[in-house]
Structure 1
């Protein structure tokens, strides 16, 4: 049976009477108010206020430590250190959390700033710091570290700007002397405030400069050369450019060896690009501008170590940098037959006597001060001379020793791509070689020519070599080098004292004349046989090992037939044999080579016209028998048994220059017009 809900009854309020408000709500309100006042009478409000927690500052505890008296005479109150540290340790977690939050907020703010705006702000800030350093570097020592921090940026553009800015700053503020590191004894010595300030600046400059060079070395070794994605130079290229600029501008300052290692590290690669050419040109400039010899010695030492470590496998242009050295002959006095250049009177400390009109009256005290000032200036000039003449000569001798050791080692190894450069270098510095080594060097050159005649040892070369040996060019360079050994010295005395015999080189040159005249590539050099590399950097004024075979042949013939010091010592038989062979070879040579050969024969006939006049006149023939044109010996060819019939053919040559050359030769010999 379902449950029936109860009926809700409504409460009826009796109507209010006039003058009496006795509604239920009013009665309830009166009852609550009376109850509140009854309870409030029992409250203890003062006790409740005392027990309430305070939100103000904590009460400072009383300091129980006594005051102390400092060395200046002041009385100071010392705080409780333990309590301070305790309060700081309690809030360490809050500070760490707050710093992390601030760091995250800074990263978010940086991400919101556009990249272009970041670069602009960094550029302005670096310009401001650089301006401060240029104005007063001693007062802004910390600016070096501020610039170095920009170099640690993740933005490549900002990093490049930082490297360039540091380069400009260091080039301006680096002094003209090396900074010596301070020892412990120097630190203990009491110095003035100015000296202490200068020491602090110099040490900050040296440390900042060292960090900068280390950053350049790290970027240069990264291997990221060439151009970047935005079309500009990469970080590696910028670092190499900065190192080259520093080495050129301040080669005297500290950490020169670190800069040289950056450049030599790039030169050790076989890839020749713009950075490679820049490093090579920088070292050549260093060699040319070096006056005391110390930077050149450091550079040559590092280069020779690199060459030895690489097994003498590097680009030929690196070895050619040695030809830019200012060696011992550069520093000798320039003399002539009439006078010798001597230092002026002002340099030697003597002044010319002044006329009476130009004399200035000075008191005794002024004359004394002037005399003391001159003494001080003289001492300052002596102090400015960093390296004496003896020390400079010693440096140059050590440099020359390293260069020749490298040349001789490459000669022993017979590296194909370096033989031309080595022989050119030996010919250039032959007058500086000690006469005691002439015999060994000539034997090495004879060995090379012997290999050129037989062709032995060429097949044994490694297959991975990029270039092949040109034995003909090597043989001609050996002949030039052998005769260059005696140039600049007394050739007759050297031959008599050392028993030097150059007949081997003369015979080899005589044997190769016919073969060279039939060579179709005689007017081409090693590098002109191929098309130029379009990606290679612009060529410099390097003229080493690029001469054509014709030029080398003419140089060899000039050394053999027209030596500068002993022209009269050339026997007539040799001149006649070579003249006959050269006239025959001129019939087969190309036009330009034939013109050059006619010019050489013109000089020979002008110098030795009486010795070879019989070749143009059959009635004055001195020899009997027949002329052996194919004989390999000069003495056994019997040249005076022949006549110069080739001149009649060359008179009808299509080239007017050759026809004129023949007329000059006949004029020198026979006096014809």
Structure 2
């Protein structure tokens, strides 16, 4: 049975009245009316203002034309919002607050986001420099772990994309100048990088400051570590003064903890790695200003950072607190002629080109070397003057807790001290020794007495005085005109030999091996391993003083009188009987060197038949020359031959062997 086919109906469009919102609106007419109103408004704006009694005002028709369209437009907009269906099709989205995630999930998402942003910026910094703002937003998170991760990520990114030059801020002329597309792109990248870097440094400064203890201690440590890494890697870039200021502010505190040690090590590393001297000069300026404002109530480790400046190996002139003496360079180009290599054949034109090229290269090298050397010498001269000013102010103020660091610094920079400054320092050292002999109790400005080790202070002064003389031939020649009395230091050293041998702490250092923070955990010591004098044991200080007095490096053996050598040799043998094992071995080693050099002068102490004069040896005499050493014998050597340490016994035999050879 056949099935009838259904009749195909024609699909009609819905009537206009069924479309909501657009049925009663003539869109073409509405568009034409708006266009006319805009044209009328532009014509009315060209009219001149009218002067009235109050002031100059616009034309009334102009004002009416301006007000009427605005009101009508508002009415029309309201009608369209009610009648049209656009609001129904595209409704306004409401911003929903982000749901609070669990801490672990938040950290996981932050890691992914930080890795994504860091990868984009490192891959193409010029295109994604705007992502630095996203990193800064993540560092403002309330989650401390996320904040630490964001700070570390920013550090890695800036170390990667910071250029090798400083970025100059743009002036008004630079903003108005016409630039090419590539230059504009580079400039936008530089300004975006500089803005993000400044914000990052300010954030580190805020976190490291830790006002009223509002910041988590672990976050403060992370901020200081970031500052340290920035100074070590991008010290040439902008905001260097701000980074140095963060370290100086931390070093100004009295509490010594792990963060303090980090700042000290960062400052020392900055001094060692600075080639041009700009960063060192800025750091020394801020340190000296800080110490002066604190009235030098700082840890001595801050002052010991000056020992890492590159002045010892590079600066060749002498300076004081107010001037620097520069000697003219004398070029001694005389020498033997070296054999020339065999010349290659070149045409006349090639020889001319090679000659011109060599001249240009020579001029370029000389120009570069002159600029760099002059600039570096200028910076180092200013740095040296600031260091000497700080040292001399501390000497005058008698800051006992900083005296060891000052004396060590003066001993290291002795070859850079001006002759005019030399006499004042020696006079200050004599005053320090006199104060130590009088056993005056030192009281600081905060009325807290300091624990003074008088023996160590005296030895440090003696070492500094002899170190100042080493290499100062012009000062030694003019010692009479400057009224310098070096016998004062020698006499004081001689009188302290026997008391020091009775000291039970002669082999102990003045600094502990470690410190403890408030939490009870050990932290590294504040004194650097390169500071040899102030952390040395009393025995080491004594040996250095004796070596400077008996074996001077800048004079011949005839400059040391026989009476002085004999008196010290006699006293050292007596002291070796009371010193501990290691100290006795060290003293016997020094006596071997003295016997090898001054054997003929002191041979009479072992052979009485060669002795001249009478009297009695006075071991406790006030003067070295008045002790009459040749009236006695070195009978202590027979007792030292029975010492339990074989090294001491060998040392005694070695001294006697040198005396026999000298005869």
Structure-1-length-normalised TM-score: 0.78
Query: Contact conserved, 2:277 with 2:379, CA < 8 A, in 1?
Result: yes
The one of 372, 381, 397 aligned to 1:388: 372
Which structure has the higher relative contact order (CA within 8 Å, separation 6+)?
A: 2
Q: Which string of whole-angstrom CA distances, capped at 9 and with x for unpartnered residues, describes residues 434-454 of structure 1?
A: 111111101100000001111
- Which whole-Å CA distance do the structure 2 matches of 1:504 and 1:101 have between them? 91
The one of 325, 340, 343 aligned to 2:309: 325
Return closer, same or farther for 1:58/1:88 CA change in 2, 3 Å cut-off: closer
Farther-moved stretch of structure 1 (575-584 vs 53-62): 53-62
Query: Contact conserved, 1:609 with 1:668, CA < 8 A, in 2?
Result: yes
CA displacement at 1:362 relative to structure 2: 13
CA displacement at 1:388 relative to structure 2: 2.0
CA displacement at 1:291 relative to structure 2: 0.9
- Which whole-Å CA distance do the structure 2 matches of 1:141 and 1:117 have between them? 28
- Which whole-Å CA distance do the structure 1 matches of 2:129 and 2:241 have between them? 25
CA displacement at 1:595 relative to structure 2: 1.2
Q: Match for residue 102 of structure 1?
A: 94
Return closer, same or farther for 1:659/1:223 CA change in 2, 3 Å cut-off: farther
Q: Match for residue 565 of structure 2?
A: 575
Q: Give the SS at the match of 2:625.
A: coil
Q: Give the SS at the match of 1:524.
A: coil
The one of 609, 624, 631 aligned to 2:614: 624
Q: Match for residue 337 of structure 1?
A: none
The one of 171, 175, 180 aligned to 1:192: 180
1:510-549 equivalent positions in 2, closer than 5 A: 510-528=494-512, 535-539=521-525, 541-544=529-532, 545-549=534-538
Q: Is the counterpart of residue 240 in structure 1 residue 232 in structure 2?
A: no
CA displacement at 1:68 relative to structure 2: 13
Q: Which string of whole-angstrom CA distances, capped at 9 and with x for unpartnered residues, describes residues 309-367 of structure 1?
A: 2221122212111111101642559xxxxxx999xxxxxxxxx989649x8x9999xx9
Return closer, same or farther for 1:461/1:470 CA change in 2, 3 Å cut-off: farther
Query: Contact conserved, 1:178 with 1:254, CA < 8 A, in 2?
Result: yes
Q: Match for residue 265 of structure 1?
A: 249
- Which whole-Å CA distance do the structure 2 matches of 1:411 and 1:329 have between them? 25
Q: Match for residue 147 of structure 1?
A: 135
Q: Match for residue 458 of structure 1?
A: 442
Q: Which string of whole-angstrom CA distances, capped at 9 and with x for unpartnered residues, describes residues 244-286 of structure 1?
A: 1000001111110000111111111222222111111111111
Q: Give the SS at the match of 1:234.
A: helix
Q: Match for residue 652 of structure 2?
A: 662
The one of 549, 554, 557 aligned to 1:560: 549
Farther-moved stretch of structure 1 (423-432 vs 535-544): 535-544
Q: Is the counterpart of residue 586 in structure 1 residue 583 in structure 2?
A: no
Q: Is the counterpart of residue 475 in structure 1 residue 465 in structure 2?
A: no
Structure-2-length-normalised TM-score: 0.79
Q: Which string of whole-angstrom CA distances, capped at 9 and with x for unpartnered residues, describes residues 607-631 of structure 1?
A: 1111111111111112222221221
Return closer, same or farther for 1:461/1:572 CA change in 2, 3 Å cut-off: farther
Return closer, same or farther for 1:88/1:58 CA change in 2, 3 Å cut-off: closer
Farther-moved stretch of structure 1 (191-200 vs 397-406): 191-200
The one of 252, 273, 282 aligned to 2:236: 252
Q: Which string of whole-angstrom CA distances, capped at 9 and with x for unpartnered residues, describes residues 11-45 of structure 1?
A: xxxxxxxxxxxxxxxxxxxxxxxxxxxxxxxxxxx
- Which whole-Å CA distance do the structure 2 matches of 1:150 and 1:666 have between them? 77
Return closer, same or farther for 1:262/1:459 CA change in 2, 3 Å cut-off: closer
Return closer, same or farther for 1:536/1:371 CA change in 2, 3 Å cut-off: farther
Q: Match for residue 220 of structure 1?
A: 208
CA displacement at 1:168 relative to structure 2: 0.9
Q: Give the SS at the match of 2:503.
A: coil
Q: Which string of whole-angstrom CA distances, capped at 9 and with x for unpartnered residues, describes residues 564-596 of structure 1?
A: 111321111111111111111112111211111
Return closer, same or farther for 1:489/1:648 CA change in 2, 3 Å cut-off: same
Q: Match for residue 210 of structure 1?
A: 198
Q: Match for residue 26 of structure 1?
A: none
- Which whole-Å CA distance do the structure 2 matches of 1:226 and 1:575 have between them? 65
Q: Give the SS at the match of 2:523.
A: coil
Query: Contact conserved, 2:599 with 2:662, CA < 8 A, in 1?
Result: no
Query: Contact conserved, 2:155 with 2:230, CA < 8 A, in 1?
Result: yes
Q: Give the SS at the match of 1:291.
A: coil
Aligned residues: 584
Return closer, same or farther for 1:668/1:99 CA change in 2, 3 Å cut-off: farther
Q: Is the counterpart of residue 485 in structure 1 residue 477 in structure 2?
A: no
- Which whole-Å CA distance do the structure 1 matches of 2:466 and 2:377 have between them? 27
| Two-structure CA RMSD over aligned residues (Å) | 3.9
Return closer, same or farther for 1:176/1:608 CA change in 2, 3 Å cut-off: same
Q: Match for residue 147 of structure 2?
A: 159
Q: Give the SS at the match of 1:102.
A: coil
- Which whole-Å CA distance do the structure 1 matches of 2:161 and 2:362 have between them? 28
Runs (5+) with no aligned partner, structure 1: 1-48, 70-79, 334-339, 343-351
CA displacement at 1:303 relative to structure 2: 1.1
1:581-620 equivalent positions in 2, closer than 5 A: 581-620=571-610
Q: Is the counterpart of residue 296 in structure 1 residue 280 in structure 2?
A: yes
Q: Give the SS at the match of 2:129.
A: coil
The one of 489, 501, 523 aligned to 2:485: 501
Q: Give the SS at the match of 2:643.
A: coil
Q: Match for residue 632 of structure 2?
A: 642
CA displacement at 1:194 relative to structure 2: 1.7
Q: Which string of whole-angstrom CA distances, capped at 9 and with x for unpartnered residues, describes residues 104-137 of structure 1?
A: x233xx22x4333332222222222222211221
Query: Contact conserved, 2:515 with 2:524, CA < 8 A, in 1?
Result: no
Query: Contact conserved, 1:225 with 1:237, CA < 8 A, in 2?
Result: no
1:364-379 equivalent positions in 2, closer than 5 A: none
CA displacement at 1:185 relative to structure 2: 2.1
Q: Give the SS at the match of 2:182.
A: helix
Q: Which string of whole-angstrom CA distances, capped at 9 and with x for unpartnered residues, describes residues 115-162 of structure 1?
A: 333322222222222222112211223112222111222222222121
Return closer, same or farther for 1:363/1:565 CA change in 2, 3 Å cut-off: closer
- Which whole-Å CA distance do the structure 2 matches of 1:377 and 1:120 have between them? 57
- Which whole-Å CA distance do the structure 2 matches of 1:326 and 1:85 have between them? 75
Farther-moved stretch of structure 1 (291-300 vs 455-464): 455-464
Q: Match for residue 37 of structure 1?
A: none
Q: Give the SS at the match of 1:644.
A: coil
